[in-house]
């Protein structure tokens, strides 16, 4: 696993959380394989990956909702591995349906305080404060079935934070919501988290979410973290082919490695990771690193490997993605501002220009 520190993260409140060598098996399936993760004080870490990669298992192990077969969970220096969930003092937000249906929003939020024998006036006041924090004071006396999905999740967040936990855990909290609500709510969550300064683990399969709000993103695959780094690094400097292909789109282009550079279709690009042996390889190039220009006079697809025929165009609003067929080198997706993209209609020839960013290369 490759790990890069978020060096510009200021010291905040919150505790340090360490997952050490966590392993969890279900019969023949290994859901988590010697997972190591250190969360710094007040840090917001997103675990990102496809279903089955183990991200939810990692979160549930941290919460105590599953037992670890091997490894330790250390919170603020204390080994809590054997501690039951109700003694771990962690706030948790589930994907859906977690509000108690027989209680109003206020009663839900006050529930944890009630268990801690806080007086009724005091806990109602604190519940009211938490609901203010998430912007739902008007819904305080409504029941779950009277609220929208987004509102329910905000109440769930308020409820988790009301007990002033040491760690905040969010298990795909936005997956069940509409796209617009999702974008709003994820910013809400981040805002609240920054305000409270709590160490947070956020699990999601949506890379846009992870990249948008996390301090560091842990991309998981097969029970292991393949890369743990700030969002920009995960995106621009993917450490493994899986990360490169899971996060954002990747074009696979033929390349020839020599030393610290690779020759991709005639363009020399520096390598992210210099450990690939010289020779033929595959370069993973992002569409936004690929642009299109008009074909110069006299040039054709045979003379220049970067010239190909436009086969498809996707209009995505501000940008468009254009698929160009290079013949023997396969198809490439380029991304351009839509105003520029209109020049390249289907069937016309276009010439690719590759930005000379550091590129990830994998063996054939």
Partner 1 sequence: MTDTVAAADVLVGDQPSRAGRRLPLSWLGAVPFFAYVGVFLLLPTGIVVFEAFFTAAGQPTLENINALTTSVVIQAFIKSITLSLISALLGAALGAVLAYMIASGPPDGMTRRLWTAAAGVLAQFGGVTLAFAFLATAGPVGLITLAVNNLGGDLTGSWLTDLIGLIVVYTYFQIPLMVLVFLPALDGIRPQWREAAESLGGTGWQYWRHVAIPLLTAPFLGAVLLLFANAFAAYATAAALISQGGIIIPLQIRIAFTSETVAGQENVAKALALGMIIVVAIAMSLYAMMQRRSARWLR
Partner 2 sequence: MAAMTTSPIRQAPGLRARKARRLRLIRWFLLLVFGLIFAVPLVAMIEFSTRSTDLTGPRTLEYWRQIVDYPDLISAIFASLELAAITAIGALVLLVPTMVWVRLRLPKLTRIVEFLCLLPLTIPAIVLVVGWAPIYLWINYFTPAQYQTSPLVLAFAYIVLVLPYMYRSLDAGLQAIDVPTLTEAARSLGAGWTTVMVRVITPNIASAVLNSSLLAVSLVLGEFTVASLLNYVNLQVAMNNLQQANAGVSIAVASAALLFVFILLIALSFVGRRRRSGGVVEPFPSGTGH
User: Site residues (CB under 8 A) for partner 2?
Assistant: 1, 3, 18, 20-21, 23, 34, 36, 38, 65-72, 81-82, 84
CB of 101 to partner 1, least distance (A): 4
Report the relative pairing of strands 44-48 and 216-221 from DSSP bridges. parallel
For position 285 contacting partner 1 by CB under 8 A, the verdict is no
Tokens of 266: 């005639």
Tokens of 314: 């996707």
Q: Residue 42, SS3?
A: coil
Tokens of 42: 């007040």
CB of 32 to partner 2, least distance (A): 12
For position 27 contacting partner 1 by CB under 8 A, the verdict is no
* Closer of 184 and 240 to partner 2 (Cβ): 240
Report CA 186 to chain centroid distance, whole Å: 12
| Cα separations in angstroms, 149 against 133, 146, 232, 241, 269 | 18, 10, 31, 36, 47
163 makes contact, choosing from partner 2, partner 1, none, with CB < 5 to 8 Å by partner type, with: partner 1
Q: What are phi and psi of 251, to 5 degrees?
A: -90, 140
* Closer of 69 and 206 to partner 2 (Cβ): 69
* Closer of 82 and 260 to partner 2 (Cβ): 82
CB of 64 to partner 2, least distance (A): 8
92 makes contact, choosing from partner 2, partner 1, none, with CB < 5 to 8 Å by partner type, with: partner 1
16 makes contact, choosing from partner 2, partner 1, none, with CB < 5 to 8 Å by partner type, with: none
Residues 6+ away with beta carbon under 8 Å from 358: 236, 237, 269, 270, 271, 272
| Cα separations in angstroms, 285 against 288, 318, 362 | 8, 21, 11
186 closest CA partner among 93, 106, 105:
93
For position 323 contacting partner 1 by CB under 8 A, the verdict is no
* Residues 71-110 as x/- pattern, contact with partner 1 by CB under 8 A: -------------xxxxxxxxx-x-xxxxxxx--------
For position 155 contacting partner 1 by CB under 8 A, the verdict is no
Among the listed residues 31, 63, 262, 281, the single contact to partner 1 using CB under 8 A: 63
Distance between CA 196 and CA 188 in Å, rounded? 12
For position 130 contacting partner 1 by CB under 8 A, the verdict is no
DSSP string, 179-233: HHHHHHHHHHHHHHHHHHT-EEEEEES-HHHHHHH-SEEEEEETTEEEEEE-HHH
CB of 85 to partner 2, least distance (A): 9
CB of 322 to partner 1, least distance (A): 44
For position 49 contacting partner 1 by CB under 8 A, the verdict is no
Residues within the interface to partner 1 (CB under 8 A): 63-65, 84-92, 94, 96-102, 111-112, 114-116, 143, 145, 156, 159-160, 163, 169
């Amino acid at each position: 696993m490759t790990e890069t520190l978020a060096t510009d993260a200021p010291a905040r409140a919150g505790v340090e959380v360490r997952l050490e060598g966590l392993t969890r098996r279900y019969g023949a399936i290994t859901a988590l394989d010697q997972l190591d993760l250190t969360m710094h004080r007040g840090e917001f870490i997103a675990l990102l990956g496809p279903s089955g990669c183990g991200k939810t298992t990692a979160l549930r192990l941290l919460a105590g909702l599953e037992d670890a077969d091997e490894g330790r969970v250390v919170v603020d220096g204390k080994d809590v591995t054997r501690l039951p969930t109700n003694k771990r003092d962690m706030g948790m937000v589930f994907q859906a349906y977690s509000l108690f249906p027989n209680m109003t929003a206020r009663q839900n939020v006050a529930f944890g305080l009630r268990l801690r024998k806080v007086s009724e006036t005091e806990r109602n006041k604190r519940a009211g404060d938490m609901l203010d924090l998430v912007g739902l004071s008007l819904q305080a006396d409504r029941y779950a079935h009277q609220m929208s999905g987004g509102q329910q999740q905000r109440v769930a967040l308020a409820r988790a934070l009301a007990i002033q936990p040491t760690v905040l855990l969010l298990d795909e909290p936005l997956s069940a919501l509409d796209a617009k609500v999702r974008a709003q709510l994820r910013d809400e969550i981040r805002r609240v988290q920054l305000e409270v300064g709590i160490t947070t683990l956020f699990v999601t399969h949506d890379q846009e979410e992870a990249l948008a709000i996390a301090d560091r993103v842990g991309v998981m695959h097969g029970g292991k973290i393949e890369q743990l780094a700030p969002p920009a690094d995960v995106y621009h400097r993917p450490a493994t082919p899986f990360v490169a292909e899971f996060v954002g789109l990747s074009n696979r282009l033929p390349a020839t490695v020599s030393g610290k550079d690779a020759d991709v279709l005639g363009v020399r690009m520096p390598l992210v990771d210099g450990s690939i042996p010289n020779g033929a390889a595959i370069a993973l190039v992002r569409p936004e690193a690929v642009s299109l220009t008009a074909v110069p006079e006299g040039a054709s697809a045979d003379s220049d490997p970067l010239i190909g025929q436009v086969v498809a165009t996707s209009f995505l609003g501000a940008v468009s993605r254009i698929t160009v067929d290079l013949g023997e080198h396969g198809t490439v997706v380029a991304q351009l501002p839509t105003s520029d993209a209109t020049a390249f209609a289907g069937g016309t020839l276009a010439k690719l220009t590759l930005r000379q960013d550091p590129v990830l290369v994998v063996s054939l």
